[in-house]
Structure 1
């Protein structure tokens, strides 16, 4: 129902964690991920109150997050520079070295390749769902996944001991 702030509040509370995780994986920057989620939820709220609630609010929010991220990448000021190092991670995670290595390698890919890999493999989305979220055809998602995985393997290299189990 249009103008249902309680419904939006419930939606935002239930989906903000997943949106944040996706944004953080896309950016590798905790604060930027928070900003992207906040901007995304603001845009979703605007659509929520102006017309009927989207059929699939989670998909609408993911698509909005991806578009917001791509817009941010295009507009990034010349004073901003990506970091070569990642912040420290909390202890207790399984395969911490592998996660850090993968996140660092994802950060070296271009934005669209990173988006396809994060949605397809980290978010466990189908080819069709990923295509819908990114506004691509299913074939384009498949080919971009293939090329992006190849680039990811090149970035990781074969001499990395944490990647010994990853097949080429």
Structure 2
């Protein structure tokens, strides 16, 4: 049995503030956040009246909001934005050869070593964040980082400056 329109209005009134806050944090744009919440509530209403009410309507609405935001970003990224001026500063060059070499070397590592290095150094996550995401202790992440960097060094050679996986003197373990 489909949910009632009155029930949806109560739900929308109760959760629209939370949805707006999430949308604003995602976008940083007040007006775009309002648009995303309205579009999300429209999608939730269609689902609400056509099917039985979702088990957790707020979770359903949040998922719909995030997916709507991602779709908006994809469309916006594909659009061209003309400008009257050319930027004064050139974009720094990326060493494409180094990047390809590094990606190739990462592919030669064991999957667990590759994951630790990508999370720690490519995505710049802390030891604790990496440990929590992988379900490991902080010490295990440190030791795996150290061993994985050694393996990567042996694959690539000494021509590259590498980060030191050991914590700094003032860093608390």
- More RCO (CA 8 Å, sep 6+): 1
Flag the structure with larger Rg: 2
